[in-house]
Amino acid sequence: MIPGRCSFCKGKLVEDKTDFMVKVGEQIIAIKDVSAYICENCGEAYYIPEISKKIDIVMKKFYEFKLLLHPAAAGELRFDEIVV
């Protein structure tokens, strides 16, 4: 069930698409264009149960090495290494 407002900042939720990203060990998994309710204020995403189940299936297949992923170029920067 989707709350009427964001649980963190009480902002308004709007239906949109977002990218679901998670770091597993040294790998980052990104699922693009996931339907969600997103807070207009802080950007927190809320997923309906059907979407959460699909994400769970993708993650299960990843852990079982049954998921073919395309490598994506990405940069990573540690915050404490930034010199201003």
φ, ψ for residue 25, nearest 5 deg = 65, -120
H-run or E-run covering 56: helix 49-63
Q: What is the pLDDT of residue 74?
A: 65
Domains, in order of start, for the chain: 13-71 (3.10.20.860)
pLDDT of residue 13: 97
Phi and psi at residue 62, in whole multiples of 5°?
-60, -50
Q: Is 66 left (phi over 0), alpha (psi -120 to 50) or beta?
A: alpha
Q: What is the pLDDT, as a whole number, of residue 68?
A: 80
Q: In terms of pLDDT, which residue wins out, 68 or 17? A: 17
Express each pLDDT in 11-54 by its tens digit. 999 999 999 999 888 888 888 899 999 999 999 999 999 999 99
- Asked whether the CA dihedral 11, 15, 17, 20 is positive or negative, the reply is positive
The pLDDT value recorded for residue 7 is 93
Check residue 84 and give its pLDDT: 60
